Structure 1
Amino acid sequence: MPKTIETLKSEYGAISFPHLNKLGANSRPNAYALLLGKRVHNISKTPVSAGYQSDYKSHNESCFKSLDDDQHIFSIFKSSGYMTAHMDDWAGTAFNSHNCIGLARNETIDHSMKPFFLRIGLGLKGYESASISENVQKGYKMDELLFPQLERFLDAYPDKPKFSLSWSTYLAHDDNNNLFQADAFFTDFFTRNKKKFNNSFIFFMGDHGMRSGDLRKTKIGEIEDSNPALIVVFPEVVRQNSEILDTVIQNSQQLISHYDLFATFVDIARAKHNNGRKLVLHGSSILRPLPQPRTCDRLQIPIEFCTCMYPKSSKPKVSETQSQLIASKLVENMNKVIQKDERLHRNCAPLTLNLNTSIEIDAFQAENEYTIYFVTFNVMPGNGSYRAYAGQEKDGNINVLSTDYSRLDLYWQTAHCAAGHFSMNFCYCKDLLLKNTTD
């Protein structure tokens, strides 16, 4: 979207933050970090991580309990006197994915497009209208539906502070090539509304990169997935404050995460109205000097998503036998996850390393003669393709470092029996084995 980026930089003085690092594989953990400032999964303690516990006692607490009374960003802005709007072209939303409850009452959201997108059948089943869905989806692109509503929201409250979240999923979630068609639309949108945004913060960003497809399978694609775009527009009053602007420019070259953006939102919301509520904060506002040093583990970024890696190992290339040993350890860990969970154990087949496909390994040297391995491998049944981290101590002991593994191929059709589960990407449904045997 070169024209959009150029418009934001030349007309709005936008600043790019090229080192935003995602915190989870998909939208759910990243949304919790961005909009609630919380962690939904544990990070295991390993030789390269201090280990961090989830902010929720269990998956059930984070998923099947309403978030209305949690510290979500809508409630924070609402309590500070803002009008609020939530515009998401996927009615399920990141909070409702994996069959979670999310925001049930929506008491702190003044305007929502969820009823509209439910009616056109995007997100949750059982609410759609066939006639509305056909006419709308044939006649409009999703960005053409979301952003005119944002303009109406801006116009409706000219004298009140406003907070809006516009989350466009269908624009390019499954194909980043679709971004080009929206470039002219967004260029026109930001050009036309420049005066309305003169006193505004704008965070133009993604929560993660492409998670599948040919690009994702490359080394560049691996980094892109963990390094979503972030361009920030600051109000004119901030741009004219040389002290804050210098701080922001310095911070733009630092490693940051969604936790830091949540802390920034809180900083903005509480600039004039602080209700004294104590919040969980894992990050720091980008409007203030950032604590140092900024390593992935200090920022609580899991190693499997870290874009800052140790130097390449000078040791000889890993042998085929050693590669199979390391990859087998990762597969063994996958089977442990499947066996420990009642639902996965009941529905998902045990996995084995596919020795008929190549195993790719990059080695990195950490402290105390500890070697980190970045491993790409395939498993059977299904030939699922994965990437994960393992480590080896100087005595030869191999550790699994990744809590979550990156899945490189599409897997919904082969893992449908584990839909909504955190480890769904490990699953190959047993009923498919029975079907293949019958066929």
Structure 2
Amino acid sequence: MKTDHEILLPAKVNTNRKFFVVMLGVALLLLILNLKNLNFLENVSHVRLDIPTGFLVYNDHCQIEDHSPYDPHTMKYFTPQNYAQCIKKPRLAEVKFNKSSGKYVLIINKPLRKAYGKDLECCYHKIYRPPYDEDADIRVSIGSCWNVTNSVEIAETTENIIVRCKNKKLVDVYLDGFATMPEKDEVRKRLERWKKEDKPIKVMMLGIDSVSRLNLIRAMPHTRQFLERNGWFELNGYNKIEDNTFPNLMAILTGYNTARTAAECDAESSGKLELCPFLWKDFRNEGYVTAFAEDAANLSTFNYLKEGFEERPTDYYIRPFILEAERILPITKLSGLPYCLGYKHEGEYVFDYAIEFTERFNSSPYFGFFWANTFSHNNISDASSMDDRMIKYLNKIQATDSVIFFFSDHGMRFGPTRSSPIGHYEERLPFMFIYLPKWLKDKYPKWEESLRFNKNQLTNPYDIHMTVQSLLRISAGGEIKPADGCPKCQSVFEKVPPNRSCEDLAIEDHWCMCNNYVSESTSQQIGNFLGNFMVAHINNFVMSYKNGNFTETCNKLSLKSVDVLRVNRKNSLYIITFTTDPNGSQFEATVKHSPGSVIETSLRGDISRLNIYKFDAFCVNDGGIKKYCSCSKNVTKT
């Protein structure tokens, strides 16, 4: 006879089985739903699934934290800006390309004349750039004003024009400018080398100065959403390699570091910049048409404290237009930079030039580099005004079947947001997105796989140099040359080594975001020692720079205060922020300090200047010393 326990046992086991089966089914269902969700996320945002929460990069040699773009210390200085029309009156003139004649046509819109008064007389000036001259990048001129009543064809030799309309009193009532890309025999002959059946890879590089990865999210959220929804690949661990725009763009465009650039093609010497091995030269040599455009003539990458180009660097080059337009057209400034230039925001001239380039050469192989400074360089809020406009540009260029790089050089390098707790972090991590057209993803499926993998790996500008090189070599053949400044760097169309370090990528400790630091508040003595060490280093540098030519010009500095001190005890590294007298210059440096070692204290990389110094260093125009110089009294500007 069975006991009660023996009788109940089978029923309990049966119940448990049913419960187990039900729970197993629920678990499987949740797993399937989660996998589908993860696949969706991976397809849309290219999320690496093995990176711990709270990190952008995580390996044995590099851990980069993922901070919120809405840090309260930063948000105190962020106010979204609306896009505003520059001039409320309608634009009287327009320029169109006539495919039949192969020429541009300038049209004066009759119905709009009333907005500017009666009896207008309109004409246009041609803008000339010297063909070859040491001052060619700063010296342009305009010709006589050619009358236009309704419309006129513009000569093929004319690339840029200024339109002027006067009233009866001979007062200018309308001024406008247009940058064009007329037919050039040398370009068409070069493009004929490509057979119709060939499908070369077209490359477009679009950049915005001083926008960190976090500020793209903060200031241009709609642009960011557009990129994610349209399958652009992001490189979250994209780390700048040096201080400002010039070295970071040179790493992309030439593969050179600062030392090699100075030795081979010093931009501060007339006629030397042309000797640099720019990527656009390689593309042109392989039969591509090339273009380069940048706004803010006085701030531009190759001209600020530099000599610029004696010869035009690319087939189409917007600088002559920008120089003359900034001289003639009405300007409205924002955060100290030209914002409105005539009827358009100055940055729009750059991106309109990019659109014109893709339309004029839509069936040809091209390489274009387009860089905007004016709406982003001086303030974290300003880029927000171009958020929705940027989507329109990206959408048009995305439709061209080009490989597109959309990126920045660094985050904000000075001002109150740079001094915030994550200012150091933002400055070193700009944004980088890459778009692949469908035909290339279909042809090279491993590229997409590699880009997804590399999303959360440490990368830098030298990698982009290698990536662009690879695109040309696939189209035209030949060997890919290692980046001179980083032999271990590679194309991101291949999976990068998962344990990359800053040392592997030629990123000095001062710029490396892989080193995690904590506040050092236990030893005032260490702070004062390192602060005085750095002030002595700066003073010695100024005394020895160019045979001491600036010793009398620049004040000798003294330590006023140590503002922030952070430490990475594992590597004996300190980040110190300090202020000097006499004029309150604020610097940041990374120092290795290990008492008892052969070299107890050493500077690791460059020194950052955190506050604006153009007024403090008004007396020098030498880029190598300007950020360290506090001009002595009674010294005039050089």
Tell me if TM exceeds 0.5. yes
Match of 2:289 among 55, 61, 83: 83
C-alpha distance in structure 2 between counterparts of 1:231 and 1:417, whole Å: 40
- Matching of residue 94 in structure 1 with residue 296 in structure 2: no
SS, match of residue 302 in structure 2: helix
- Alignment-mate amino acid for residue 384 of structure 1: S
Match of 2:321 among 116, 120, 129: 116
Match of 1:22 among 240, 256, 273: 240
- Alignment-mate amino acid for residue 421 of structure 1: G
The answer for the alignment partner of 2:253 in structure 1 is 35
SS, match of residue 540 in structure 2: helix
Structure 1 residues not aligned, in runs of 5+:
42-53, 122-127, 435-439
- Alignment-mate amino acid for residue 173 of structure 1: H
Match of 2:632 among 406, 425, 430: 430
C-alpha distance in structure 1 between counterparts of 2:445 and 2:596, whole Å: 54
C-alpha distance in structure 2 between counterparts of 1:402 and 1:146, whole Å: 37
- Matching of residue 263 in structure 1 with residue 466 in structure 2: yes
Q: Could you report, residue by residue, the CA deviation over 1:325-362 in whole angstroms, capped at 9, with x for unpaired residues?
A: 111111111111011012332311111101xx443211
| 432 and 20 in structure 1: CA distance in 2 versus 1, 3 angstrom threshold | farther
- Alignment-mate amino acid for residue 97 of structure 1: Y
Q: How does 1:222-301 map to 2 (within 5 A)?
A: 222-240=424-442, 241-274=444-477, 280-281=483-484, 282=486, 283-291=489-497, 293-301=499-507
C-alpha distance in structure 1 between counterparts of 2:234 and 2:482, whole Å: 28
For normalisation by structure 1, the TM-score amounts to 0.85
The answer for the alignment partner of 2:580 in structure 1 is 379
Q: How does 1:300-319 map to 2 (within 5 A)?
A: 300-310=506-516, 312=518, 317-319=521-523
Q: Would you say the 8 A contact 2:402–2:436 is kept in 1?
A: yes
Q: Would you say the 8 A contact 1:329–1:400 is kept in 2?
A: no
Q: CA deviation at 1:61?
A: 3.4
SS, match of residue 332 in structure 1: helix
C-alpha distance in structure 2 between counterparts of 1:361 and 1:398, whole Å: 18
C-alpha distance in structure 2 between counterparts of 1:208 and 1:100, whole Å: 23
The answer for the alignment partner of 1:44 in structure 2 is none
Match of 1:176 among 380, 384, 388: 380
- Matching of residue 2 in structure 1 with residue 227 in structure 2: no
Among all aligned residue pairs of Structure 1 and Structure 2, give the percentage whose two residues are the same amino acid: 22
SS, match of residue 347 in structure 1: coil
Q: Would you say the 8 A contact 2:330–2:342 is kept in 1?
A: no
- Alignment-mate amino acid for residue 384 of structure 2: F
Q: Would you say the 8 A contact 2:340–2:346 is kept in 1?
A: no
Q: How does 1:28-427 map to 2 (within 5 A)?
A: 28-41=246-259, 54=260, 56-57=262-263, 61-64=266-269, 65-92=271-298, 93-101=300-308, 103-106=309-312, 109-121=314-326, 128-129=327-328, 131=329, 137-196=341-400, 199-240=401-442, 241-274=444-477, 280-281=483-484, 282=486, 283-291=489-497, 293-310=499-516, 312=518, 317-341=521-545, 342-354=548-560, 357-367=561-571, 371-395=572-596, 398-427=600-629
Q: Would you say the 8 A contact 2:465–2:483 is kept in 1?
A: no
Q: Would you say the 8 A contact 1:238–1:245 is kept in 2?
A: no
Q: CA deviation at 1:366?
A: 3.0
Q: CA deviation at 1:220?
A: 0.9
| 105 and 274 in structure 1: CA distance in 2 versus 1, 3 angstrom threshold | farther
Q: CA deviation at 1:311?
A: 6.1
| 360 and 421 in structure 1: CA distance in 2 versus 1, 3 angstrom threshold | same
C-alpha distance in structure 2 between counterparts of 1:144 and 1:66, whole Å: 30
| 144 and 383 in structure 1: CA distance in 2 versus 1, 3 angstrom threshold | same
Q: CA deviation at 1:32?
A: 1.2
Q: Could you report, residue by residue, the CA deviation over 1:114-141 in whole angstroms, capped at 9, with x for unpaired residues?
A: 11111133xxxxxx33x56689625321
SS, match of residue 381 in structure 2: helix
Q: Would you say the 8 A contact 1:324–1:359 is kept in 2?
A: no
- Alignment-mate amino acid for residue 345 of structure 1: T
Q: CA deviation at 1:62?
A: 4.5
390-399 or 19-28: bigger deviation:
390-399
Q: Could you report, residue by residue, the CA deviation over 1:278-323 in whole angstroms, capped at 9, with x for unpaired residues?
A: 564423111113246421122111211111105659xx84421221
The answer for the alignment partner of 2:32 in structure 1 is none
SS, match of residue 417 in structure 1: coil
62-71 or 230-239: bigger deviation:
62-71
Q: Would you say the 8 A contact 1:261–1:285 is kept in 2?
A: yes
Q: Could you report, residue by residue, the CA deviation over 1:16-53 in whole angstroms, capped at 9, with x for unpaired residues?
A: 11111111211111121121110014xxxxxxxxxxxx
- Alignment-mate amino acid for residue 263 of structure 1: M
- Alignment-mate amino acid for residue 586 of structure 2: S
- Alignment-mate amino acid for residue 155 of structure 1: E
- Alignment-mate amino acid for residue 390 of structure 1: V
SS, match of residue 148 in structure 1: helix
SS, match of residue 95 in structure 1: coil
Structure 2 residues not aligned, in runs of 5+:
1-219, 333-338
SS, match of residue 475 in structure 2: coil
Q: Would you say the 8 A contact 2:527–2:562 is kept in 1?
A: no
Aligned residues: 403
C-alpha distance in structure 1 between counterparts of 2:587 and 2:474, whole Å: 44
SS, match of residue 404 in structure 1: strand
C-alpha distance in structure 1 between counterparts of 2:552 and 2:635, whole Å: 14
For normalisation by structure 2, the TM-score amounts to 0.59
* Greater strand proportion: 2
* Greater helix proportion: 1
Q: Would you say the 8 A contact 2:470–2:480 is kept in 1?
A: no
- Alignment-mate amino acid for residue 120 of structure 1: A
- Alignment-mate amino acid for residue 376 of structure 1: T
Q: CA deviation at 1:6?
A: 1.5
Q: CA RMSD in A?
A: 2.6
- Alignment-mate amino acid for residue 387 of structure 2: D
Q: Which has the larger radius of gyration?
A: 2
C-alpha distance in structure 1 between counterparts of 2:543 and 2:324, whole Å: 40
Q: Could you report, residue by residue, the CA deviation over 1:418-438 in whole angstroms, capped at 9, with x for unpaired residues?
A: 22322311110113689xxxx
Q: Would you say the 8 A contact 1:213–1:408 is kept in 2?
A: yes
